[in-house]
Amino acid sequence: MKILGMNGDNAVAYAMKQINPDVVAGYPITPQTIAIEKFSEYVADGEVDTEFVAVESEHSAMSACIGASASGGRVMTSTASAGLAFMWEMLYVAASTRLPIVMNVMNRALSAPINIHCDHSDSMGARDSGWIQIYGENVQEGYDNIIQAVKIAESAGLPVMPCFDGFIVSHAVERVEALDDEKVKNFIGIYKSEHPLLDVENPVTYGPFDMYDYYMEHKKQEHEAMKAALKIVKDVGKEYEKISGRSYDTLSEHRLDDAELAVIALGSTAGTAREAVDEMRKKGINAGSLKLRLFRPFPYEDIRNALKNVKAIAVMDRCDSFGAFGGPMFSEIRSALYKTSDAEVVNYIYGLGGRDVTTNHIKKVISDLNNISTTGKVKEYVQYLGVR
């Protein structure tokens, strides 16, 4: 093990160096750029065997990843915001062609107006594309997630999008416990594609024209693969704990055991939520928090279990779903709890375009929950937090 001081982007590049993928196709976009720059240095210094393709757009980045992954290579990329949006069409192709591509997303807001700072509109917009989505809280998790993602992707036969917060994680230098290269290598093993395009002796047709007679069968396969991925994420998390000492599951709880009030967040806000919970506890308020790590597949049973005893829940969405009844996580959590919980569930849309969220904000959220719990009344189910 090595202790390193790295920002999130460099940690991604470092993990990618240890993974030593066959092909990386990259394109610059803030706050992800540092990762591909750093990785380019590894390539330039001969520290990896990777064929690095400095493409002319993110659409081509994902297209090249698709070509390379279909060819039988281990393939990675990373992006953010407009880059991810530009790939949108190809995200679906990657997933439904069942290609185990790993792409780190450094979450950033979508235009307009153009904004380079963190929110989750980008990856949440891709939530139905068939990619497994894992959200990390800090640099260490960012590093750990990307290594696990390789194994998850290749076991599930689905692409994986590990995400973390742009700038907040991507540009923050933190202490990272990095595994030894050998350990990473053994953990991920050797990738062997079942039907590589490069096998000229056994020609495969990838990406045919599908009509109503078979399209639904192909979607059903994808549906089942995504369901099966839940256990894979858990298993890989347990395996990873054995080599790292750090445990990973679909979610993690903070003081939820005896809590009546719960705050749910993903990404870096989960840490802020824990602090807020601790401070409120000191004031005698029975709060807890839940950090969601896995968003796709959505671990609704784990969520039900974790929240079974709480009376009021605040779901923190760092992105709006305009016109919907709340943000994306809110809809999913309410749906997961339907008929299994009597808790009131409210939604806070916060932190858009990098708007700061502090412990005070979350303490206010917990106070709101406390009011709901004591009065039994909800003033507003969905509200913007920290807006003027």
Partner 1 sequence: MVSLKELSKKEEKLASGHRLCAGCAEPIIVRQILSATDEPVIASNATGCLEVATTIYPYTSWKIPWIHSAFENAASTIAGVEACYQVLKRKGKINREIKFVAFAGDGGTYDIGIQALSGAAERGHDFLYVCFNNEAYMNTGIQRSSATPMGASTTTSPAGSVIPGKKEFPKDLTEIMAAHKIPYVAQGSPGFYNDLIAKAGKAFSIKGPKFMNVIAPCPRGWRHPTDKTIEISKKAVETCFWPLYEVENNEYRLTGISKLIAEGKKEKLPIVEYLKMQGRFKHLFTEKYKHIIPEIQSRIDSDWGILKKKCGY
Partner 2 sequence: MKGWKEIPDGGLILEPGNSVEYKTGSWRAKRPVWDKEKCINCLICWIQCPDNAIIVENEKIRGINYDYCKGCGICASICPKEAISMEEEK
Q: Which residues bind partner 2 (CB under 8 A)?
A: 96-99, 157, 195, 202-208, 210, 213-214, 217-218, 220-221, 224-225
* β-bridge mates for residue 104, sequence order: 78
Pick 228 or 243: Cβ nearer partner 2: 228
Q: Of 58-66, 169-177, 236-244, 377-385, which part binds partner 1 (CB under 8 A)? A: 58-66
Q: How far is the CB of 116 from partner 1 (least distance, A)?
A: 23
Residue 60, binding choice from partner 2, partner 1, none, Cβ under 5 to 8 Å by partner class: partner 1
Rounded to whole angstroms, how far apart are CA atoms 323 and 115? 22
Considering only residues 197 through 216, tell me which ones interact with partner 1, judged by CB under 8 A.
197-200, 203-211, 213-214
Residue 98, binding choice from partner 2, partner 1, none, Cβ under 5 to 8 Å by partner class: partner 2
Q: Could you tell me the CA-to-CA distances from 367 to 85, 195, 279, 287, 311 in Å, in that order? A: 37, 56, 12, 10, 13
Residue whose C-alpha is closest to residue 159's, from 123, 185, 209 = 123
Residue whose C-alpha is closest to residue 268's, from 8, 6, 5 = 8
Q: How far is the CB of 211 from partner 1 (least distance, A)?
A: 7
Q: How far is the CB of 89 from partner 2 (least distance, A)?
A: 16
Q: How far is the CB of 308 from partner 1 (least distance, A)?
A: 44
* Residue partners of 89: CB distance under 8 A and separation at least 6: 59
Q: How far is the CB of 195 from partner 2 (least distance, A)?
A: 6
Question: For the purposes of burial, counting CB atoms within 10 Å of the CB of 279, is it exposed (0-12), middle (13-18) or buried (19 or more)?
Answer: middle
* β-bridge mates for residue 348, sequence order: 316, 383
Pick 59 or 183: Cβ nearer partner 1: 59
Tokens of 339: 């008929």
Q: Are strands 174-178 and 2-6 parallel, antiparallel or unpaired?
A: antiparallel
Residue among 97, 145, 170, 269 that touches partner 1 (CB under 8 A): 97
- Which runs of consecutive H residues, i.e. helices, occur in 246-293? 269-282
Pick 217 or 257: Cβ nearer partner 2: 217
Residue 25, binding choice from partner 1, partner 2, none, Cβ under 5 to 8 Å by partner class: partner 1
Length of the chain: 388
Residue among 63, 123, 138, 347 that touches partner 1 (CB under 8 A): 63
Rounded to whole angstroms, how far apart are CA atoms 384 and 355? 11
Residue among 67, 142, 288, 326 that touches partner 1 (CB under 8 A): 67
Q: How far is the CB of 156 from partner 2 (least distance, A)?
A: 11
The answer to whether the CB of 96 falls within 8 A of the CB of 130 is: yes
The reply on whether position 78 binds partner 1 by CB under 8 A is: no
The reply on whether position 54 binds partner 1 by CB under 8 A is: yes
Single-letter residue type at 212: Y
The reply on whether position 44 binds partner 1 by CB under 8 A is: no
Q: How far is the CB of 37 from partner 2 (least distance, A)?
A: 33
Intra-chain end-to-end CA distance of the chain, in Å: 47
Pick 214 or 325: Cβ nearer partner 2: 214
Pick 47 or 210: Cβ nearer partner 1: 210
Q: How far is the CB of 45 from partner 1 (least distance, A)?
A: 16
The answer to whether the CB of 8 falls within 8 A of the CB of 137 is: no
Rounded to whole angstroms, how far apart are CA atoms 13 and 10? 5
Residue 375, binding choice from partner 2, partner 1, none, Cβ under 5 to 8 Å by partner class: none
Rounded to whole angstroms, how far apart are CA atoms 324 and 47? 48
